[in-house]
Amino acid sequence: IKKPKILPTLVTDINSVDGTFCILDELINIFTLGITSAYPDLEDPPVNITLSGNNPKFGDYQCNSAMQISKLLKDRDVKTNPREVANNILNKTPTSPLVSKTEVAGAGFLNIYLNKQFAEHILNYILKFGVKPPPVKQQRIIVDFSSPNVAKEMHVGHLRSTIIGDSICRLLEFLKHDVMRINHLGDWGTQFGMLIAHLQDMYPDFKTHSPPIADLQAFYKESKKRFDEDEEFKKRAYACVVQLQAGQPDYIAAWKLICNVSLQDFQTIYDRLNIKIVPRGESFYHSRMMTDVKELKEKGYLEEDEGRLIMWPNPDNHDGIPLTIVKSDGGYTYDTSDMSAIKQRVQEEKCDRFIYVTDVGQYTHFVLIDACARRAGILSNDQRLEHVGFGVVLGEDKKKFKTRSGDTIKLRDLLDEGLKRALDKLIEKGRDKVLTPEELKQAQEAVAYGCIKYADLSHNRINDYVFSFDKMLDDKGNTAVYLLYSLTRIRSIARTAQISIEKLMEEAQKSGIKLNDETEWKLGKVLLRFPEVILKVSKELYIHSLCEYLYDICSAFTDFYDKCYCVEKDKSGNIVKIFYERLMLCEVTAKVMQKCLNILGLTTVSKM
């Protein structure tokens, strides 16, 4: 028996939709109805709708299902061709207030043209009520990001994770999800043995007097050197690990002390970048790991292998690598903590989505964790672990990002250089002469941190990415500087005409936005795509799509502003006419841009 399909209900009244409306979803609904009524015998027929691209000849959206359906029919020996199928679909597709017309074109495309009144309605809504998130089912989502290792360098890879992870959180929070921002710090493991032993020697009174460890990396290097060269020290270091794992208070105190030094260091970076994250490192799972390992053992998931205990996703297939759950010395590993972490996230936190932001090098690790968690019954069939991978950061020479002397780059230094370069840029443009010192400082920070974040976010994260201050501080092209400038410029249009937002809203009551000029209509259509872009990015977690969208808005705005006067002045600069409807369109543009920039974690300034 074929189960009856639940067909979507369509929008029939323009006034029933608001600014959160996703046009693409509605077009899919409309064409699903058209296609299923034209071809009721096809089960799950393909409904493919895409944006048409820049040529207005192809409409605003396109339905490309006719080619695929024609092929499906041919496989069933039905004689037809794509154009015929397209015409059939067109005849059966219900009318909608969204669509002004649909045409069959070319090899069998259906070109869809949006309705202007509908677009104006939505833009007026945004003008009045602001940019609101499209409705989605609320979920509890964990985003595991940043996650540097205690006593080690927080490097540019962690910076990428921090920037991308924060933006993903902001996006999901905007959609009203319950987001847990988790810092899975590397704060547990055998390296603490040598750190504690070294601490005991260097600062014997560490319990009563907080030791002034300014440079934990140097401290780490010193203890590592001793560990490698001094057998006695090495033995003591091992003994320290045992004491620590047994929870001996003095050792816990020493460990906490070391962790706190690192954490404070990391926190200064988070503060500068305005990033919120909750520390919950590997140590959090220590007692859980003991119970979890016992359980995995009892259930027969673990196998012995040269003294260690390993776990395969599939016991009958030993291709690839297994997880190492217990080392031959009895210690736990990165794998063990991730198994306990996923269990805790499923069973205790009751999360619906599990997102991990690390470099692509860890891809196989997370595939393994996912598969083993599934085997162990921790993840059910509809749950999966999402690895948000990213490429390595390269220097301008396309080699691994290093200082000129070949050292790894300290994040603090990198941010400082950003600040310096941003200030240079602002001075080069003469901004120091027009801005107050306070405004200049705000602009400097917005540009510096904004450009570092945006350069990272605007590239497809999967690829390696070249870190270049020169490129990121360019004021042309898809850069933070260009976007921040554009936004302040848009905001200044009404301000220089001395039109208050109250006055604008008063005018909006009378007429509202009208998209008469072709450039206005184009800009309007770009703005309408906001919910569609947000929903897509929240599913796929490729933030660069949002950056591309932001750039599209800017380009469409520039075309509009070049052609259409918002304020008309006479030769001596006196205002002759104010085009309120256009100022309203500027306002909606600014609102949408502002929201996108917020989601990307960029601070906007009113003057720069």
Residues binding ligand ARG (CB under 6 A): 144, 147-149, 184, 186, 338, 341, 356, 358
Residues 101/107/108/109 CA torsion (nearest 10 deg):
-50
Query: Residue 551 is encoded by which pair of tokens?
Result: 């750039």
Q: Which is nearer to ligand ARG, 324 or 358 (CB)?
A: 358
CB of 148 to ligand ARG, least distance (A): 6
- Report the candidate in 534, 480, 508, 482 with the shortest Cα–Cα distance to residue 586: 508
- Report the candidate in 305, 346, 353 with the shortest Cα–Cα distance to residue 325: 305
- Burial class of residue 21, CB neighbours in 10 A (0-12, 13-18, 19+): buried
CB of 351 to ligand ARG, least distance (A): 13
Query: Residue 247 is encoded by which pair of tokens?
Result: 């929870």
SS3 sequence of 28-39:
HHHHHHHHHHHC
Q: Which is nearer to ligand ARG, 370 or 456 (CB)?
A: 370
Burial 35-50 (b: 16+ CB within 10 A, else e): bbebbeeeeebebbbe
Angle at 567 between CA 563 and CA 573, to 5 degrees: 110
CB of 271 to ligand ARG, least distance (A): 20
State how far the Cα of 530 lies from the Cα of 596, in Å rounded to an integer: 9
Q: Which is nearer to ligand ARG, 332 or 551 (CB)?
A: 332
For 472-477, the CB contacts below 8 A with 24+ separation are 473/421, 473/422, 473/425, 473/447, 475/425, 475/429
CB of 144 to ligand ARG, least distance (A): 5
CB of 142 to ligand ARG, least distance (A): 10
- Report the candidate in 148, 149, 181, 184 with the shortest Cα–Cα distance to residue 166: 181
CB of 149 to ligand ARG, least distance (A): 5
DSSP state of 248: -
Q: Which is nearer to ligand ARG, 186 or 524 (CB)?
A: 186
Q: Which is nearer to ligand ARG, 100 or 362 (CB)?
A: 362
Q: Which is nearer to ligand ARG, 149 or 283 (CB)?
A: 149
Q: Which is nearer to ligand ARG, 148 or 322 (CB)?
A: 148
CB of 125 to ligand ARG, least distance (A): 41
Radius of gyration of the chain (CA): 29
Q: Which is nearer to ligand ARG, 186 or 313 (CB)?
A: 186
List of E strands, 124-195: 140-144, 178-183
Instruction: Give the CB-nearest residue to ligand ARG.
Output: 147
SS3 sequence of 157-170:
HHHHHHHHHHHHHH
Q: Which is nearer to ligand ARG, 348 or 562 (CB)?
A: 348
CB of 281 to ligand ARG, least distance (A): 8
